[in-house]
Amino acid sequence: MIQTDIIIIGAGPCGLFTVFEAGLLKLRCHLIDALPQAGGQCSEIYPKKPIYDIPAYPEVLAGDLIEKLMEQIAPFKPGFTLGERAEFIEKDAEGQFIVKTSHGTAHRAPVIAIAGGLGCFEPRKPPVEGLADFEGHGVEYIIKEPDIYKGKRVVISGGGDSALDWALYLANGVAEEVTLVHRRDSFRAHPDSVQKVLDLAAAGGMRLMTHAEVIGVNGGSDGALAELTIKHKKEGASQLEVDHWIPLFGLSPKLGPIGAWNLNISKNAVEVDTFDYQTNVPGIYAIGDINTYPGKLKLILCGFHEATLMVQSAFKRIHPDKSNVLKYTTVNGVNAF
């Protein structure tokens, strides 16, 4: 069990900055994020875009901002559980929170800070009727064990790097048959991978269906995926017998488990008191894009402010008998753990 002072759910900019403000008060933090990397939206959606409204940075790339935040919090040695989704929250006999992830990792702390942004980044699922019935029975959105495709007939949908890279990987002696289905005949993937796919398709090592889209799924008698309906822009629809379909259409944020934690939610956001950004559950705070209150703005700057006030309240909760006096960082510097 990972024990800490504050469990931070979400390692976006606001979750990261919480580590710094908590560290100044000698509180330790552990971050959980469903993504394999820190940075939330900044890393996942727009790492190469400049941000212009971070105080004292006339211009900073979102990816660089995250790098700087990681550098700033490093002295406080935060723990990370990455690539796992915070799934369940419960309270133990001593009144501490236990947070368990999708992978079963357990974390324990007296305070939780939810910095979940717009929610968990999850694979986009095609709005194809009946699709959910085949999840785990032939339809996968993430390739976890490439071995399961050995000797199978696989269809991959998408035109980005992951679609092309996996198509190439599986076509190289893993799957029996690989078909790549894409809506147009150009790809946004790395030019090198595109060339490899075109060459392999020309050589008969992979089937390439462009100007096409999977619009229907059908199961066999065992309940597993057996057939796809593919719509072609010019020639109508066709059926294709398959064992697996892997739709790779990128990630989008979904509120996810946060919605099931008995918190007051309004319009996909967690209601908080602006006094200390606490939710309706004492000891659980929410900061950054995930929270809502009158006048809320979903900006990084505002999330930083919320994190700062939030840890003051967390400190009082964790150390009810201690008083804390505000000290400028200029006075003592940053005292690492």
Partner 1 sequence: MADITVHVIDREGVQHDLEAPIDMGLNMMELCKASDLPVEGTCGGMALCASCHMYVESAHLEQMPEKSEDEEDMLDEAFFVEDNSRLGCQIKLADLHDGLVVRLAAVG
Answer for which of 250, 280, 327, 334 binds partner 1 (CB under 8 A) is 250
Among 4-12, 124-132, 143-151, 199-207, the segment contacting partner 1 (CB under 8 A): 124-132
Q: Does the protein bind ligand FAD through residue 46 (CB under 6 A)?
A: yes
55-87 in b/e form (b: 16+ CB < 10 A) is eeeeebbbebbbbebeeebeebebbebeebbbb
Cα dist from 268 to 182, 255, 271, whole Å: 32, 7, 10
Q: How many Å apart are CA 161 and CA 97, to the nearest integer?
A: 40
Other C-beta atoms lying within 10 Å of the C-beta of residue 135? 12
Among 67-75, 203-211, 222-230, 282-290, the segment contacting ligand FAD (CB under 6 A): 282-290
Taking CB atoms, the residue at the shortest distance from ligand FAD is 117
Q: Does the protein bind ligand FAD through residue 14 (CB under 6 A)?
A: yes
Report the half-sphere exposure of 336 (CA within 13 A, side-chain side).
7
Q: Does the protein bind partner 1 through residue 45 (CB under 8 A)?
A: yes
DSSP 49-104: SEE--BTTBSSEEHHHHHHHHHHHHGGG--EEEES--EEEEEE-TTS-EEEEETT-
Taking CB within 5 to 8 Å according to partner kind, which of ligand FAD, partner 1, none is near residue 183?
partner 1
Answer for which of 132, 260, 301, 334 binds ligand FAD (CB under 6 A) is 301
Tell me the sheet residues that pair with 216. Answer: 229
Q: Nearest approach, Cβ of 32 to ligand FAD (angstroms)?
A: 5
Query: Among residues 158 and 288, whose Cβ is nearest to ligand FAD?
Result: 288
Q: Nearest approach, Cβ of 256 to partner 1 (angstroms)?
A: 15
Q: Does the protein bind partner 1 through residue 186 (CB under 8 A)?
A: yes
Q: Does the protein bind partner 1 through residue 124 (CB under 8 A)?
A: yes
214-235 in b/e form (b: 16+ CB < 10 A) is beebeeeeeeebbebebbeeee
Cα dist from 289 to 12, 33, 48, 145, 181, whole Å: 10, 15, 20, 34, 35
Answer for which of 28, 100, 108, 125 binds partner 1 (CB under 8 A) is 125
Q: Does the protein bind partner 1 through residue 252 (CB under 8 A)?
A: yes
Taking CB within 5 to 8 Å according to partner kind, which of partner 1, ligand FAD, none is near residue 125?
partner 1
Q: How many Å apart are CA 247 and CA 244, to the nearest integer?
A: 10
Answer for which of 49, 77, 322, 327 binds partner 1 (CB under 8 A) is 49
Closest residue by Cα to residue 30 from 118, 91, 94, 97: 97
Q: Does the protein bind partner 1 through residue 68 (CB under 8 A)?
A: no
Taking CB within 5 to 8 Å according to partner kind, which of ligand FAD, partner 1, none is near residue 167?
none
Answer for which of 182, 242, 292, 303 binds partner 1 (CB under 8 A) is 182
For 196, the enclosing helix (H) or strand (E) is helix 191-202
Q: Does the protein bind partner 1 through residue 126 (CB under 8 A)?
A: yes
Contact (Cβ atoms closer than 8 angstroms) between residue 241 and residue 226: yes
Query: Among residues 140 and 289, whose Cβ is nearest to ligand FAD?
Result: 289
The residue type of 205 is: G
With tokens 């509180």, the residue in question is 27
Q: Nearest approach, Cβ of 218 to ligand FAD (angstroms)?
A: 33
Query: Which residues bind to ligand FAD, rule: CB under 6 A?
Result: 9-15, 32-35, 40-42, 45-46, 51, 53, 85-86, 115-121, 256-258, 288-290, 298-301, 303
Query: Which residues bind to partner 1, rule: CB under 8 A?
Result: 45-46, 49, 118, 124-127, 158-160, 182-184, 186-188, 213, 215, 249-250, 252-253
